[in-house]
Structure 1
Amino acid sequence: MKEFIFFFSISIIAFSSCASTLIEHGRVVNERNCFSWVFSDYDLWRNQMEKKFKKKSKLEITVNRKLAWFDSNFGKEKYEQFKRDLDCSTFDYEVDSILVKGYVIKPKQAKKDLPVLVYNRGGNGNYGRVVFGSMMQNLFPIANEGFIIIGSQYRGTLTQSDTLDEFGGKDIEDVAALFDFIPSIKGADFNRVGMYGASRGGMQTHLVAKQVNNLKAIATIAGSTDLTKGLTYRPAMEKVYKKRIPNYQTNKQIELDKRSVLKWVDKLSSDIPILLLHGTNDKRVSVKHSKDFANALAKHNVPHKLILYANDNHGLVKNKAAANKEIVRWFKQHL
């Protein structure tokens, strides 16, 4: 059901016509307010979702169950608070002659320049794209604690063809480009920048960290750290690798090692502390990824903290609020 909501959200946000300017940069175009069209009013959003639920199912009990899920995950009070306290825009920017989509979230009433977090999403292609619903659940609560958040959807996402995503290949440049925009965000402190990512976004985070110079701290949620070993935990991921990673068939090991931070952990900076969050019942990215990485970080004297959530899943749904607090605490400590 979540995927249904998020898919519908995408079709709506793409038609937003309410202009917004949070980034004053020549490469940033088509900036639009996240809180517009159906998202301009909570009841309008909820009513639209109810119509969609009814169209999908004629059973009242099913519709009511879906609406109950919607209310428990979002809710009018939460929506109104975020709309009051946060500015949010989607935008386009060009990388390698490709128009990439991004987003920025910023507290409204900050009295001083704020630290910036670059967020790297999970998934691949259109799967896992960041839409309004996922912003409300995963990003708004953290931004509301005093952070500016900026992120990329990665090349090809939110287009009719999502074949451009190379799963840690050229799409890394899409994230690195965001660092050029940070000084153009009014109220952003370019000297206090952190980066975090979930699932595939953990891999992205470490790859981008190799290219930028002003990063102060990192956090990952259920991050993949060894793609080769990960195939023994979840063989089905090879379908994604074959589809996404260039030259995978002929250079499999080389390409997987490039994307596996455990293979070059000795190259990590001891000046960038790393927070690792993982659920012990994660069926998508085994908790062994974070455990093995923590052991390697200790061996190479890289400051880090590992937090495991017992019996929780890939999305940390049982401990979402606690995980958000850990992320906020980590970056407030190190930025």
Structure 2
Amino acid sequence: MLRTIYALCAIIAVFANAHAQAASVEYNATCYTAPNDSYAAMQAQFLQRNPGRTAEQFQQRLSEETFNAMRRDINCRWIVYQHDGVYVGGFALIPRNIEGPLPVIIYNRAGHGPTGAVNFDQLVNELRPLAEAGFMVIGSQYRGGGGVFPQMPNGTDEYGGADVLDVLALPSVAAQIADIDEQRIGLLGRVRGSMMSFLAAKAQPNTFKAIASAVTISDLNAWVDDWGAEHHPASRYIPNFATDGEAQMRARSALQWADELPANLPILLIHGGRDWEVDRAQSEQFAAALEAAGRQHELTIYSHANHQLAPYQDDFITDVIAFFRANL
């Protein structure tokens, strides 16, 4: 009986790996299209969408010099890839004028369904510094998250279910659009994306070399309890939540299986000390579990940071870049 179980587990692992590699890039186009084709057009759109805001406020967030440098130095792409019977939207930032093969950071976004989908503003203001540091940055909107054309079946977000395959497909996708070093791939997750990172590392322990996790969700049960199940997106997106929710949330909670993560996988946890949306205990308890399991990890709490890690955003980028430079 035990041999049968081991054989079944091996079959499941092979099946997951086959799905992760069976990805084809169906669309690959520049991000620098109107209104993101010029600084003036971006500023005009900002003012139109944000009545009461000023040009000076836009310029404080993004200078013309920075935008022009990004256009010059970073190849920004919107992508659509097909695998596992669905079309999935995504994005990539590829440094120009840097000889490959490039190290890769897979960015796993926060949010659920189309809520929280990465837009150009996030690419230029949040992910650009990682590409400027010499990393290819690539990410998925997840199935059900949009970013595809109307005729393309986009699937359904399962909040850490089959959508994890969308993350596992990204090394193959990255290799199709850039010259990458497949031995230097890391994961950067934020909130829900942190859950996706740890699930991906568990599923394919030899693929990813380091994980940086911001506002970690390590205990989905506790987070749903904080919100109330009727208000939390997990209850709407996890299949069979009404009948099997507890088990499904445990399966998505890295706190439950910290000892199953690769022993040689460096992990950086970052959380805000004043995050009222996700309790810092999520990161602290997970750090304790990693310590007990003998796993490499570092925990950084920005004492006065909120859920968005303000006003420590610059510190966050600096710490993440230093971590990946040391471990990829």
Alignment TM-score, normalising by the size of structure 2: 0.87
Distance across 2 between alignment mates of 1:78 and 1:40: 14
Residues 24, 83 of structure 2: 8 Å contact kept: no
Give the number of aligned pairs. 302
How big is each residue's C-alpha offset from its partner over 1:186-233, in whole Å with a ceiling of 9 and x where there is no partner?
Answer: 331111111111010000000111222221111100010001122343
Distance across 2 between alignment mates of 1:163 and 1:315: 29
1:194-273 to 2 correspondences below 5 Å: 194-212=186-204, 213-235=206-228, 238-273=231-266
How big is each residue's C-alpha offset from its partner over 1:6-47, in whole Å with a ceiling of 9 and x where there is no partner?
Answer: xxxxxxxxxxxxxxxxxxx98102211011221110111112
Q: State the 1:97 CA deviation.
A: 1.8
Residues 125, 163 of structure 1: 8 Å contact kept: no
* Structure 1 residue 190 corresponds to structure 2 residue 182: yes
How big is each residue's C-alpha offset from its partner over 1:229-248, in whole Å with a ceiling of 9 and x where there is no partner?
Answer: 22343336753122111011
Q: Which residue of 1 aligns with 2:68?
A: 80
Q: Which residue of 1 aligns with 2:173?
A: 181
Structure 2 gap ranges (5+): 1-21
Q: Which residue of 1 aligns with 2:283?
A: 290
* Structure 1 residue 42 corresponds to structure 2 residue 39: yes
Q: Any idea what SS the aligned residue of 1:124 has? A: coil
Identity across matched positions, percent: 32
Distance across 1 between alignment mates of 2:312 and 2:183: 31
Residue identity matched to 1:216: K
Residue identity matched to 1:177: A
1:23-34 to 2 correspondences below 5 Å: 27-34=24-31
Q: CA RMSD in A?
A: 2.0
Q: Which residue of 1 aligns with 2:125?
A: 137
Distance across 2 between alignment mates of 1:30 and 1:101: 9
How big is each residue's C-alpha offset from its partner over 1:255-289, in whole Å with a ceiling of 9 and x where there is no partner?
Answer: 11011000111111111010001001112211100
Residues 88, 146 of structure 2: 8 Å contact kept: no
* Structure 1 residue 100 corresponds to structure 2 residue 88: yes
Distance across 1 between alignment mates of 2:222 and 2:53: 42
Structure 1 gap ranges (5+): 1-24
Residue identity matched to 2:202: K
Residues 182, 190 of structure 1: 8 Å contact kept: no
Q: Any idea what SS the aligned residue of 1:314 has? A: coil
Q: Any idea what SS the aligned residue of 1:182 has? A: helix
User: Is the deviation greater in 25-34 or in 87-96?
Assistant: 25-34
How big is each residue's C-alpha offset from its partner over 1:291-329, in whole Å with a ceiling of 9 and x where there is no partner?
Answer: 001111111110111000012111112111111111111
Distance across 1 between alignment mates of 2:239 and 2:231: 13
Residues 106, 149 of structure 1: 8 Å contact kept: yes
